[in-house]
Copies of this chain bind each other. A is one copy, B any other.
Amino acid sequence: MNLYNILSALNFKIEKKLDNALGRAGILSTPHGDILTPAFVAVGTKATVKGLTPENLKALPLQVVLGNTYHLYLQPGDELVKQAGGIGKFMGWNGPTMTDSGGFQVFSLGVAYGKQISKVTKITDPSLIIPERSSVEDGLAPLVKIGADGVSFRSHLDGSLHYFTPEKSIEIQHNLGADMIFAFDECTSPTENTRYQEDALTRTHNWAKRCLDRHKELEAEKLQPHPNPLLKGEGRTPQALFGIVQGGRDENLRKKSAEYIGSLDFDGFGIGGSFAKEDMETAVKWVNEILPEEKPRHLLGIGEPEDLFMGVENGVDLFDCVAPTRNARSGASLYTKNGRMNLMNSEYRNDFSPIEIDCECYACKNFTRAYISHLFHAKEMLGGELASIHNLYFISNLVAKMREHIIDGTFFEFKENFLKEYNK
């Protein structure tokens, strides 16, 4: 049986739309199951959501795991993951999977290297704006060099030299075998000037087309008879390719990018970039007003409660972000409906209530603040595990509730009530 004949890469059905806004609830069907959207995607950088077993994840309202192409290419290598049967099988997760393209790592190891620039940046210091940009020569020795054809970079693990082209990123992602993969793009900083943003966008658009072409070739190969008849179903599951819209904070560039990327035959779309906090909403709105409505949209690397509401309201279907798990492992930033909580504060040392009283997660139903606080103070691994379970539950459950409220027609009341409590 050739799986390609019975499975389509992706099927997206919109169930309900918001009135007077772009938001919608849908069902995204993948070869590894349906995803009720909007949905939060857990980040499993190196084919593991740090510290958690797949069973821990299955107990959450979590439906998808995203691995990082850059990291998995370096370690353990995409060929090995292919041999293992793809990222899902390798890590024991039988639900839907995604991989990113490596583009963000290029950015974060390149121009953003050593600077305080990440997915969401507050540009309060005007001197951060780079007037004439030269990514390689500005002193901080970035590990990355960007050319028209691709990107050369040094491994952060051993300094070895590597070269990614758009085609290479797609080939790696076909080896990794996730259900949904992304076109290779250049993520720019909001501090870049317009000329650089234009140049980068031209590269991203050229690369998008090249990714799509290479992806179509590789998908077509899956339709051919398998060279080894014993393995005819192996590694032939169709994959869906998402194009990525870039364009920084510039309205013209964002719209131009949405027009162009939206016109190509992608299965879905990512909205990329490193955003100044105040620019994110306008950028998402510009883009989603243009992108074809019938295809799913993923806002890359965004996952704070306020931003999730903003994204859902403005037509985003999928989100991924390391923040919930990274914050959890520090112990210093646990989500509650009354805002973030620093469990390292001494007041929690003898507090025998759960992290959040009516939370249904495993950590809250079985352990106290006092115990988890003790685990953090004693540097015990279990602290980060339990806090990660709580934060992932909180965020994925929040997005699942947004979906319910879209369907019930009560999204805006839910948003208002939640944010009032959360920001109190």
Q: Which residues of A contact B (CB under 8 A)?
A: 46-48, 50-55, 75-76, 80, 83-84, 90-92, 349-350, 352, 362, 366-368, 370-371, 374-375, 377-378, 380-382, 384-386
Contacts and interface: CB of A to CB of B under 8 A. Distances in A.
Contact of A377 (B55, B76, B371): B76
Given A51-B382, A80-B349, A352-B83, A371 B91 contact: yes
Contact of A375 (B48, B349, B366): B48
Contacts of A384: 381
A75 B377 CA distance: 8
17 contacts: A48-B378, A48-B382, A51-B51, A51-B380, A51-B385, A53-B386, A55-B362, A75-B377, A76-B370, A76-B377, A80-B349, A80-B370, A80-B374, A83-B350, A83-B352, A84-B368, A92-B371
Given A80-B370, A90-B371, A374-B75, A382 B50 contact: yes
A80 B92 CA distance: 39
Nearest to A59: B55
A366 to B, nearest CB: 5
Given A83-B350, A374-B75, A51 B91 contact: no
A381 B54 CA distance: 14
Contacts of A76: 349, 370, 374, 377-378
A266 to B, nearest CB: 31
Contacts of A54: 366
Contact of A381 (B92, B374, B377, B381): B381
A47 B371 contact: yes
A333 to B, nearest CB: 18
A330 to B, nearest CB: 14
A50 B80 contact: no
A338 B257 CA distance: 60
A386 B48 CA distance: 12
A48 B373 CA distance: 13
Of listed A76, A90, A366, residue having the most chain B CB within 10 A: A76
Given A54-B366, A381-B385, A385-B53, A374 B46 contact: yes
What are the nearest 4 A-B pairs in CB distance? Answer: A51-B381, A76-B374, A46-B378, A92-B366
Given A350-B80, A352-B83, A378 B75 contact: yes
Of listed A54, A370, A381, residue having the most chain B CB within 10 A: A381
Nearest to A329: B381
Contacts of A374: 46-47, 75-76, 80
Contacts of A91: 371
Nearest to A386: B53
Contact of A370 (B84, B366, B371): B84
Contacts of A371: 47, 84, 90-92
Nearest to A367: B92
Given A55-B362, A75-B377, 4 more contacts: A53-B382, A75-B378, A76-B374, A90-B370
A244 to B, nearest CB: 26
Contacts of A385: 51, 53, 381, 385
Nearest to A389: B53
A202 to B, nearest CB: 35
A374 B91 CA distance: 10
A403 to B, nearest CB: 28
Contacts of A386: 53
Of listed A91, A371, A384, residue having the most chain B CB within 10 A: A371
